[in-house]
Amino acid sequence: MTAVTVRAPAKINLHLGVGAPGADGFHPLTTVYQAIGLCDDVTAGPSLDWDLAVTVPAWMDAAGIPLLGENIVDRAAALLAAHHDLAMTGEVVITKAIPVAGGLAGGSADAAAALVALDRLWAAATSDDDLLALAALLGSDVPFALVGGTALGTGRGEVVTPIDDRGTWWWVLVPSDEGLSTPKVYRHFDKLFPDAPATPPPADALLDAVASEDPLRLAELLHNDLQLPAIDLRPDLGRLIDRGQNEGALRGIVSGSGPTCVFLCESADHARDLAGALGHHADGREHPAVLVANGPVAGAHLVEYV
């Protein structure tokens, strides 16, 4: 074998209900994830040492990406190697398409893809249960990046239950030129909502809307408890959402902890039209890219094995 390539998707949260933080500092979540067709690839080939490189598209600033030794892929490799008592070896390349620190779980996608790629490279035959448990150690969103599709997330987001989703949902994504730190947004949530309920708001109505396959119904029920704190920290996001809705989006929301904003559309054509209308100056501020993606798509999966 010379290399395996594993692809893993970005996620958006159709519903992100956040409760008051527990003793461990994490917030209990009731969330509905959707994997969308904006993916990072992780290619792993044999080597006597460990090496990690990252390539980015022209529009993406590579400066924010943690380098060799500090990337979540290093942690994923170290965990998997320790789990099997193997040496951590490989020549690994991450090919990014998912914005960094964007609220789209790009790092989690890389970690999930690395687990699957290195499992193959090392012929480790890790069970699905073990892979999910290792993923949960790497981050709250990593198990979902393995599972993909549309899924309910509970616990701190790491307990994933797949949901039957027959719809094809079209999204326009507007990343920001400046990332937003997830812990910072959660801390701001705590400041704005000191009396948040212990149990996060449920997702039942949203799940009914997903089952309806009707984007107009889904648009009404999209919900993100981190949106207010994110906009309070970054008022430009509020202006961007207004602009997208004025340009005809069914609804715009902040994705996860932001700063990427996502706009639900009725169809592929509608999404392309909206992306064109928003252009790169979506709110009077320059945006690095305006992207179109649909969901749900598969979780981390092998795309090349040579």
Catalytic residues: 11, 141
DSSP state of 21: -
157 binds ligand C5P (CB under 6 A): yes
Q: Given the rule CB under 6 A, which of 76-84, 89-97, 180-188, 269-277 is the region that contacts ligand C5P?
A: 180-188
Size of residue set near ligand C5P by CB under 6 A? 11
31 binds ligand C5P (CB under 6 A): no
Q: Given the rule CB under 6 A, which of 8-16, 163-171, 182-190, 237-245 is the region that contacts ligand C5P?
A: 182-190
Question: What residues between 61 and 100 interact with ligand C5P by CB under 6 A?
Answer: none
d(CA 126, CA 157): 22
How many residues are recorded in the chain? 306
What CA–CA distances, in Å, run from 187 to 45, 69, 179, 210, 226?
40, 27, 16, 30, 10
Exposure b/e, 219-241, CB count within 10 A at least 16 = b: bebbbbbbbbbbbebbebbbebb
Q: Tell me the CB-side half-sphere exposure of residue 177, using CA atoms within 13 A.
A: 11
29 binds ligand C5P (CB under 6 A): yes
Minimum distance from residue 29 beta carbon to ligand C5P (Å): 5
d(CA 265, CA 248): 8
Contact 55, 95 (CB under 8 A): yes
Among 156, 188, 251, 287, interactor with ligand C5P by CB under 6 A: 156
Minimum distance from residue 234 beta carbon to ligand C5P (Å): 17
Q: Measured from the CB atom, is 184 or 281 closer to ligand C5P?
A: 184
Minimum distance from residue 291 beta carbon to ligand C5P (Å): 22
139 binds ligand C5P (CB under 6 A): yes
Residue 279 falls in which region: left (phi positive, over 0), alpha (psi -120 to 50) or beta? left
Chain residues in the site for ligand C5P (CB under 6 A):
26-27, 29, 139-141, 156-157, 182-183, 186
